[in-house]
Amino acid sequence: MGRKLLLEHAQVEGIRSYEVYRKQGGYRSVEKALKTMSPDGVLEEVKKSGLRGRGGAGFPTGMKWSFLAKPEGVPRYLLCNADESEPGTFKDRYLMEKIPHLLIEGMIVSSFALGANTSYIYIRGEYSWIVFILEKAIQEAYANGWLGKNILGSGYDLDLYVSPGAGAYICGEETALIESLEGKRGNPRVKPPFPAVKGLWQSPTVVNNVETIAAVVPIVNEGGDEYAKIGIGKSTGTKLISAGGNINRPGVYEIELGVPVEEFIYSDEYCGGMKNGKKLKACVPGGSSVPILPHFLINRTANGEQRLMTYESLSDGGFATGSMLGSGGFIVYDEDQCIVRNTWNFARFYRHESCGQCSPCREGTGWMEKVLWRMENGQGKMSDIDMLVDIAKKIEGNTICPLGDAAAWPVAAAIRHFREEFEWHVNEPKACMERNYGLVREPVAV
Amino acid sequence: MPKVKIDGFEIEVPDGTTILQAARMIGGDIVPPAMCYYSSLKGSGSKCRTCMVKVTKGSDKDPRPMPKLVTSCQTMVMDGMEVANTSSEEVLKARAGVVEFLLLNHPLDCPICDQAGECHLQDLAYEHGASGTRYEFERRTFEKIDIGPYIKLHMTRCILCYRCVYVANQLTENRVHGILNRGDHAEISTFIEKAIDNEFSGNMIDVCPVGALTDRTFRFKSRVWFLNPMDAHRDCPTCSGNAVVWMYGNEIFRVTGRKDQYGEVHEFICNTCRFEKKAVSDWHIEGPRNIDRHSVIAQGHYGQKALTVR
Ligand SMILES: Cc1cc2nc3c(=O)[nH]c(=O)nc-3n(C[C@H](O)[C@H](O)[C@H](O)COP(=O)(O)O)c2cc1C
Ligand code: SF4
Ligand code: FES
């Protein structure tokens, strides 16, 4: 059994309430930080811990915090990114729903470290019931003196708010999140300036994922060095993985970084193997934006090493033969799943979620979706396959925010590894419709 | 003052100059096309991606090339920077890609579009695009909308450059003009169809690079290339009164702001001048306007050296 730092008490009866959470040792990190540490002391521990952002990009959190500009007389903000909308990712939801006080506690310690006196949790609108869970937890924290003025007599003030979004994946992009929080349309901003210099209300701002902020609690409690002992190399600590797809035990798992992928899929502690004894066909290890891996590159890297659940190992081989840990949305596909259909489904998502500012993303995502739909419905052409690769290439890197890349990568990767299946859709449209839908009918006209 | 080299031409520019501005100071063919940037509208730019260039050397201090193409309208010049625009195959390919994207949902019915002849997308496609399209699906269409008595919005032609939104936000007093929805289903709106009755709303027409926003008092009265643009002014209590009147014989067909060679107006005019002063006696006519643009529109004026249309 791996160590659990975040979800250790998640199954304790009543842990959602303040009393039970406190009894399990909750808010110790706030006591420790505010009474015995300086803000920079907390930052040092986070740096030592090697914690990397859990929102997708894996940027070292300590380094991000140290970039925060600190001009005199200007407020600073910490924003928690709880917009979690990436297909396949549902770990933040689990954490906030089960053990909301852990996030509140993390917000207090992190805000203290950054010198923020007002902080926000920006949560996706669809998590409407979690808004109430968090607000209740915040009320309890105020009532017990963990929030508000002069917390624990330390002279440190903090106000914490929950702000729900209105149903846009793009508002998970940090600058779109800031725009949305300011009450505007959630269009990503052009960078520079980065939020660390000009973020919310043009003030220095840090945006961190729910899980990143929650991880600061055990880091402060146990010390950064202790945290860094878990994991391998630059992938330290534990990570929440939301596993889904054709596995026996879908759900959210806290793993020690470094668990072999094979073990994660097949061990009963985690996914419990393939459902109905089917064969493993493909895996998207880090949410819909990351490249899909074919079965022979999942458990082993291209040069035959064991593939591990770490930032480095999952991206070993670059995009040619690797993928990314991303946000930890681990999707497993068995032999019956259609890669073309899956790729179309992702493309449909990005088309719907593009904010529409940049022409390559706005037009390219729509185009890819239409071509893939046509192919999936038996009207594809052989030339479509290379055209899709070309469209993806023309989007990638040519946009304001990474949503363009996130839309392009899955298409490019699916064709890279499953070209025959795309060709099969073109050559045998009837056969593939029969397999995918059990339909014996003529391909529909598009 | 930083020095920058663009396609081999060097120029010294003030601090805070963007690559695009520096290129415009040099002038000529090395100037990247810009469909969304508009120098007098704060916040504009970075959306259309037509102005992308390759920074082959970051600066004297840090000579590394930039890994991705950058938008020249947003990227500041650094001392010693070297930029490739037309000299980079990568840039030209990416730009052709952007043109293809911009035309994807744009109706290719220039012969019946009121903007034809002065359309920046038409020019862009002509100079940078491919001759055919690989798009085989139905284009997105919208109903035409009247935004008040003077302006017609035909969203079908819009390329979402956001310039008109910045006009609404920055020139007019209340923010009635925004974008609805997302992605390829986004559309310009006036929250919603509330007439924009601000005295400067007409400038939206001038900033629109395509035929999405047009002048209802002029629509389909004449093709622009049959008209003679004349610099003219009048004593106006609201704006500078410096405009261009577009004449056929002794009649004024329409009034616009004075656009420079990049299609930018630097003195915005009021709606009274634009829509209501159509008598020759309203204006002091200064003389023919020299339109220095690679476009059909450059044809109509006299006193020009040679036809610049390719
Ligand atoms: C289109 C898009 C959507 C994103 N959605 C999320 C999200 O839902 N949650 C999240 O934590 N980060 C999301 N991110 C990443 C954030 O921009 C940002 O990098 C992250 O919140 C930083 O937190 P971290 O350093 O703790 O990972 C998204 C990025 C993009 C480009
Ligand atoms: S890449 Fe897409 S989502 Fe991101 S800013 Fe551009 S259009 Fe919007
Ligand atoms: S002009 Fe620079 S991106 Fe549009």
State the Cα–Cα distance between residues B277 and B236, nearest whole angstrom.
11
DSSP state of A8: T
Closest CA to A403 of A205, A173, A137: A173
What A269-275 contacts at long range (C-beta under 8 Å, 24+ apart), as own/partner pairs, is: A269/A1, A270/A241, A270/A243, A271/A243, A271/A247, A271/A330, A271/A332, A272/A247, A272/A248, A273/A247, A273/A248, A274/A246, A274/A247, A274/A248, A274/A332, A274/A334, A275/A246, A275/A247, A275/A248, A275/A334
Mutate to test the pocket of ligand 2, among A369, A391, A399 (most ligand atoms within 8 A of CB): A399
Look up residue A103 and give its two tokens. 């996030």
Look up residue B97 and give its two tokens. 């890609």
Residue of A355, A357, A368, A388 best to disrupt the B interface, most CBs of B under 10 A: A357
pLDDT band at B302 (very low <50, low <70, confident <90, very high): very low
Of B46, B160, B178, the CB nearest to A362: B160
pLDDT band at B218 (very low <50, low <70, confident <90, very high): confident
B68 touches chain A (CB under 8 A): yes
**Mean pLDDT calculated for residue range A101-119:** 98
Look up residue A415 and give its two tokens. 């064709």
- Nearest ligand, measured from the Cα of B35: 3
Nearest protein CA to atom 4 of ligand 2, as residue: A401
Nearest protein CA to atom 23 of ligand 1, as residue: A208
State the Cα–Cα distance between residues B192 and A391, nearest whole angstrom.
34
Cβ atoms of A310 and A331 closer than 8 Å: no
Q: Which atom of ligand 2 is nearest to the CA of A354?
A: 3
Q: Which atom of ligand 2 is nearest to the CA of A170?
A: 3
- Nearest ligand, measured from the Cα of A90: 1
**Mean pLDDT calculated for residue range B222-238:** 90
Enumerate the β-bridge partners of residue A123: A82, A164
Of A354, A366, A394, the CB nearest to B97: A394
Q: Which residue has the tokens 């979402």?
A: B160
State the Cα–Cα distance between residues A402 and A82, nearest whole angstrom.
18
For residue B33, report the distance from its CA to the centre of ligand 3, in Å.
8
Q: How does the average pLDDT of chain B come out, rounded?
A: 89
Give B50→chain A minimum CA distance, Å.
9
Contact B47 A358 (CB under 8 A): yes
Other CB atoms closer than 10 Å to residue B177's CB: what's the count? 23
Residue of B35, B47, B74, B93 best to disrupt the A interface, most CBs of A under 10 A: B47
Enumerate the β-bridge partners of residue A72: none
Is there an atom of ligand 2 within 6 Å of A318 CB? Answer: no
Give A442 or A33, the one with higher predicted confidence.
A33
**Mean pLDDT calculated for residue range B217-227:** 83
Contact B182 A387 (CB under 8 A): no
Scanning B194-213 for CB atoms below 8 A from A yields none
Closest CA to A257 of A293, A286, A233, A275: A233
**Mean pLDDT calculated for residue range B129-144:** 88
For residue B69, report the distance from its CA to the centre of ligand 3, in Å.
12
Greatest mean pLDDT among A212-221, A432-441, B298-307: A212-221
Q: State the DSSP string of B5-23.
A: EETTEEEE--TT-BHHHHH
Other CB atoms closer than 10 Å to residue A8's CB: what's the count? 17
Q: How many CA atoms lie within 13 A of A13 on its CB side?
A: 0
The pLDDT tens digits of the residues spanning A307-330 come to 999 999 999 999 999 999 999 999
Whole-model pTM? 0.94
pLDDT at B308: 41
Q: Which residues of B touch A366 (CB under 8 A)?
A: 104-105, 183-184
Does A38 score more than 80 pLDDT? yes
pLDDT at B291: 78
The pLDDT tens digits of the residues spanning A58-79 come to 999 999 999 999 999 999 999 9
Does A443 score more than 60 pLDDT? no
Closest CA to A270 of A294, A238, A292: A238
B189 touches chain A (CB under 8 A): no
Give first-to-last CA distance, chain A, whole Å.
Answer: 52
Contact B101 A397 (CB under 8 A): no
**Mean pLDDT calculated for residue range A410-437:** 92
Sheet holding A159-164: strands in order across? A159-164, A118-123, A77-82, A205-209
pLDDT band at B305 (very low <50, low <70, confident <90, very high): very low
Cβ atoms of A203 and A75 closer than 8 Å: yes
Closest CA to A281 of A301, A270, A265: A265
A161 contacts: CB under 8 Å, gap ≥ 6:
A118, A119, A120, A121, A138
Of B100, B135, B182, the CB nearest to A356: B182
- Nearest ligand, measured from the Cα of A123: 1
Mutate to test the pocket of ligand 3, among B31, B41, B51, B123 (most ligand atoms within 8 A of CB): B51
- Nearest ligand, measured from the Cα of A326: 1
A344 contacts: CB under 8 Å, gap ≥ 6:
A369, A372, A373, A375, A376
A424 contacts: CB under 8 Å, gap ≥ 6:
A431, A432
Nearest protein CA to atom 20 of ligand 1, as residue: A55
Angle between helix axes A403-427 and A429-437 (nearest 10 degrees) is 110
pLDDT at B129: 79
State the Cα–Cα distance between residues A18 and A397, nearest whole angstrom.
46
Does B34 score more than 50 pLDDT? yes
- ipTM over the 0.95 cut-off: no
Q: Identify the weakest region by mean pLDDT among A84-93, A289-298, A352-361, B104-113.
A: B104-113
Residue of A179, A202, A362 best to disrupt the B interface, most CBs of B under 10 A: A362
State the Cα–Cα distance between residues A345 and B142, nearest whole angstrom.
26
Gyration radius of chain A over CA positions: 22
Q: Which residue has the tokens 């819909």?
A: A288
Question: What type of residue sits at position B4?
Answer: V
B244 touches chain A (CB under 8 A): no
State the Cα–Cα distance between residues A353 and A66, nearest whole angstrom.
32
Closest CA to B162 of A185, A397, A405: A185
State the Cα–Cα distance between residues B116 and B128, nearest whole angstrom.
17
What A14-23 contacts at long range (C-beta under 8 Å, 24+ apart), as own/partner pairs, is: A15/A98, A15/A99, A15/A101, A16/A98, A16/A99, A16/A100, A16/A101, A16/A133, A16/A137, A17/A140, A18/A101, A18/A137, A18/A140, A18/A141, A18/A143, A18/A144, A21/A99, A21/A101, A21/A102, A22/A144
State the Cα–Cα distance between residues B90 and A400, nearest whole angstrom.
18
pLDDT at B194: 64
pLDDT band at B173 (very low <50, low <70, confident <90, very high): low
Residue of B49, B95, B158, B185 best to disrupt the A interface, most CBs of A under 10 A: B49
Mutate to test the pocket of ligand 3, among B71, B91, B160, B264 (most ligand atoms within 8 A of CB): B71
H or E segment at B179? strand B178-180
The pLDDT tens digits of the residues spanning A138-182 come to 999 999 999 999 999 999 999 999 999 999 999 999 999 999 999
Q: Which residues of B touch A190 (CB under 8 A)?
A: 45-46, 74
Q: How does the average pLDDT of chain A come out, rounded?
A: 95
Q: State the DSSP string of A100-125.
A: HHHHHHHHHHHHHHHT-SEEEEEE-T
For residue A75, report the distance from its CA to the centre of ligand 1, in Å.
23
Q: Longest Cα pair distance anywhere in chain B, in angstroms?
A: 61
**Mean pLDDT calculated for residue range B216-237:** 88
Enumerate the β-bridge partners of residue A236: A231
Of B49, B74, B162, the CB nearest to A360: B49
Give B75 or B147, the one with higher predicted confidence.
B75
Nearest protein CA to atom 8 of ligand 2, as residue: A355
> Dihedral of CA A335/A337/A343/A346: which sign?
negative
By CA distance, what is B162's nearest residue in A?
A357
Q: Cα separations (Å) of A18 from A53, A110, A139, A143, A378?
A: 27, 20, 10, 10, 56
What share of residues in chain A are helix, strand, coil (percent, to 5)? 45, 15, 40
Pocket of ligand 1 (CB under 6 A): A 53-57, 59, 64, 81, 83-86, 169-170, 172-174, 207-209, 212, 401-403, 406
- In percent, the amount of chain A with pLDDT more than 90 equals 95
The pLDDT tens digits of the residues spanning A175-202 come to 999 999 999 999 999 999 999 999 999 9
Is there an atom of ligand 2 within 6 Å of A355 CB? Answer: yes
- In percent, the amount of chain B with pLDDT more than 70 equals 91
Domain annotation for chain B: domains and CATH numbers:
3-101 (3.10.20.740), 106-218 (3.30.70.20), 224-298 (no CATH)
Contact A398 B97 (CB under 8 A): yes
By CA distance, what is B44's nearest residue in A?
A190
